[in-house]
């Protein structure tokens, strides 16, 4: 494939492809790792008519139909929506809760093991085990998000205000397009992690000196223990993603629309199929933000079991990285798709939640298992990428390739097994989660360097892992 390469300042590459331009935000080391296939996938996505913009963040890697790490934009008046550029785990995202604890308070391995056991008690980690929140009406949550939860599960107003969005409005008539068993499959999954790269991690903070004022405004301090959560919409989003993708694929066939990649699915925003998908997507966003909320509720219960009933875990922030949202850019309404990309707004941007209008909101970027994660804040220059940054380290090897290339001994060394600083995990056998080892992912420090060097966001705090809870 012929490619024209232009450089627009530090870490900002523009790649001219047959069907349009792709912007790539990566330093030289990361940029050199991109393979031809990621550009082929971008060109297939750019075949969707009237594209306004498309980019890759440095963690971009091959996905189904669209690379994870993609931002793609269309105008609301004549644009398109693509389930392929949203992803199957609709609304998957990050959440961080702070604690009053210092690293030294949980340095003892016995304390951390007690926390792991308590968290597993309140947050099911087995795919076949449901949560015990029988008094939560799944349909209330699907239709109203956090506002559909019973009051007893909302510890305080902050749990509703310090989130990217607490509720996503949609026409409930769209739910008629879903199979009847979706409600049964989703029942009991609120407050569960799921498998794969989803996790709950206990970390401590290292505050960046140049942004200590922002950290203080957010209530963060050096050595502070925090909890980071990564999960999504579970069965609800997965099922509607699969089911309604088939509807749009059938519509494309009836319209005579084709793409070299059959996994690239899209419809005009104003079509019946496009409108229905956006409504259904919002139902999954409601489920996803509520799922992370209930995981956090369980984690707070676990901390109270270990440290006493007075223990509070305030929300720092909750945000998503798989969705298509209506936003206002360049003096017009646009539909911004982010698949494995995080919105990072600067101070005083109108889309900030009121709690973070003055400072910009925390942008939560996980590393890989055993490596650092980051809390960042967007910069004004981020407008050049529609305020999108990375969503994590980005996968380097497939799960199968990782198991072939990495040994359990190497994984143990990454987790500092046997040392005082060992990163404890909830699995007796590391072989069971070998495909989630750090060697399966890109170097998160290089990913963050790419984002900072491109002027998209700055680091406020580095999050060092102390214990990890993974699903199976």
Give pLDDT tens digits for 320-360.
999 999 999 999 999 999 999 999 999 999 999 999 999 99
Express the helix, strand and coil content of the chain in percent, nearest 5 each. 35, 25, 40
CA 92 – CA 341 distance, rounded (Å): 11
Q: Is 470 annotated in some ligand binding site?
A: yes
Q: Where are the beta strands (DSSP E) in 26-92?
A: 51-61, 68-75, 80-81
Per-residue pLDDT at 14: 98
Q: Tell me the C-alpha to C-alpha distance, in Å, between residue 231 and each of 235, 289, 460.
A: 12, 9, 23
Q: Which residues are catalytic?
A: 391
State the Cα angle at 75 between 267 and 392, rounded to 5°: 80
393 annotated among ligand-binding-site residues: yes
For 281, counting Cβ atoms within 10 Å of its Cβ (0-12 exposed, 13-18 middle, 19+ buried), the class is buried
For the segment 314-318, the average pLDDT, to the nearest whole number, is 98
Q: Distance from CA of residue 37 to its chain's centroid?
A: 23
Q: What is the crossing angle of helices 272-307 and 234-255, to 10°?
A: 170
Residue 183 confidence (pLDDT): 81
Domains within the chain, CATH numbers bracketed: 4-396+441-470 (3.90.1860.10)
- Average pLDDT of the chain is 92
Tell me what percent of the residues of the chain surpass a pLDDT of 70.
97
Q: What is the pLDDT of residue 214?
A: 98
**What band does 127 get if pLDDT is binned at 50, 70 and 90?**
low
Give per-residue pLDDT as tens, 424-453.
988 766 777 777 776 777 789 999 999 999
Share above pLDDT 90 across residues of the chain, in percent, rounded to a whole number: 77
* Core vs surface per residue 382-407: b (16+ CB within 10 A) or e: bebbbbbbbbbbbbbbeeeebbeebe
Which of 351, 308, 106 shows the shortest CA–CA distance to 204? Answer: 106
The first and second tokens of residue 284, run together, are 């999954």
* Residue 130: band (very low, low, confident or very high) from pLDDT cuts 50, 70, 90: confident
Is 277 in a helix, a strand, or coil?
helix
pLDDT tier, 125 (very low <50, low <70, confident <90, very high otherwise): confident
Label residue 397 by pLDDT band (50, 70, 90).
low
Category of 446 on φ-ψ map: left (φ > 0), alpha (ψ -120 to 50) or beta: alpha
Q: Is 230 annotated as a binding residue?
A: yes
The pLDDT, as a whole number, for residue 155 is 95
Mean pLDDT of 184-202: 86
Question: Is 197 among the annotated ligand-binding positions?
Answer: yes
32 annotated as belonging to a binding site for a ligand: no
Q: Is the pTM of this model over 0.75?
A: yes
Does 144 count as an annotated binding residue?
no
Q: What is the band of 128 on the pLDDT scale with cuts at 50, 70, 90?
A: low
pLDDT the model gives residue 428: 65
Q: What is the largest CA-CA distance in the chain?
A: 64
376 labeled part of a ligand binding site = no
Give tens-digit pLDDT for 228-245. 999 999 989 888 878 888
Q: How far apart are CA 172 and CA 239, in angstroms?
A: 17
Q: How far apart are the C-alpha atoms of 140 and 149, rounded to whole Å?
A: 7
366 annotated binding-site participant:
yes
Judging by beta carbons within 10 Å of its beta carbon (0-12, 13-18, 19+), is residue 223 exposed, middle or buried? middle
Give the per-residue pLDDT at 198: 85
């Amino acid at each position: 494939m012929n490619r024209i390469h232009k450089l627009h300042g530090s870490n900002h590459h523009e790649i001219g492809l047959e069907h349009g331009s792709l912007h790539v935000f990566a330093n030289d080391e990361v940029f050199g790792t991109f393979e031809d296939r990621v550009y082929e996938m971008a060109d297939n996505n750019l075949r969707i008519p009237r594209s306004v913009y498309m980019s890759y963040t440095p963690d971009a890697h091959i996905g189904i139909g669209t690379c994870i790490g993609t931002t793609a934009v269309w105008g609301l008046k004549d644009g398109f929506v693509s389930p392929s550029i949203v992803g199957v785990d609709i609304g998957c995202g990050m959440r961080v809760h702070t604690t009053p604890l210092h690293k030294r308070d949980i340095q003892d391995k016995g304390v951390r093991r007690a926390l792991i056991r308590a968290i597993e008690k309140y947050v099911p980690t087995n795919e076949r085990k449901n949560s015990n929140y029988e008094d939560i009406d799944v349909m209330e949550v699907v239709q109203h998000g956090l506002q559909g939860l019973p009051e007893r599960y909302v510890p305080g107003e902050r749990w509703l205000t310090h989130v990217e969005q607490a509720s996503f409005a949609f026409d409930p008539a769209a739910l008629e397009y879903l199979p009847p068993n979706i409600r049964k499959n989703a029942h009991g999954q609120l407050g569960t992690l799921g498998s794969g790269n989803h996790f709950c991690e206990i970390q401590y903070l290292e505050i960046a000196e140049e942004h200590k004022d922002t950290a203080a405004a957010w209530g963060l301090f050096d050595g502070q223990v925090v909890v980071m959560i990564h999960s999504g919409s579970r069965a609800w989003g997965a099922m509607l993603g699969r089911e309604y993708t088939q509807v749009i694929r059938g519509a494309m066939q009836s319209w005579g629309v084709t793409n070299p990649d059959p996994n690239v699915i899209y419809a005009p925003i104003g079509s019946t199929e496009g409108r229905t998908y956006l409504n259904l997507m919002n139902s999954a966003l409601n489920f996803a933000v509520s799922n992370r909320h209930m995981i956090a509720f369980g984690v707070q219960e676990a901390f109270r079991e270990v440290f006493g009933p007075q223990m509070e875990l305030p929300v720092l922030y909750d945000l998503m990285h798989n969705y298509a949202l209506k936003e206002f850019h360049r003096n017009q309404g646009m539909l911004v798709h982010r698949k494995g990309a995080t919105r990072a707004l600067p101070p005083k941007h109108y889309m900030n939640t009121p709690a973070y209008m003055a400072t910009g909101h925390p942008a939560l970027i996980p590393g890989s298992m055993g490596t650092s994660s980051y809390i960042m804040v967007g910069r004004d220059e981020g407008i050049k990428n529609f305020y999108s940054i990375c969503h994590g380290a980005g996968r380097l090897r497939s799960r199968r390739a990782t198991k072939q290339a990495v040994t359990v001994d190497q994984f143990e060394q990454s987790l500092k097994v046997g040392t005082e600083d060992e990163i404890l995990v909830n699995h007796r056998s590391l072989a069971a989660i070998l495909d989630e080892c750090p060697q399966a992912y890109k170097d998160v420090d290089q990913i963050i360097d790419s984002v900072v060097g491109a002027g998209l966001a700055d680091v406020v705090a580095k999050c060092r892992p102390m214990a990890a809870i993974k699903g199976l």
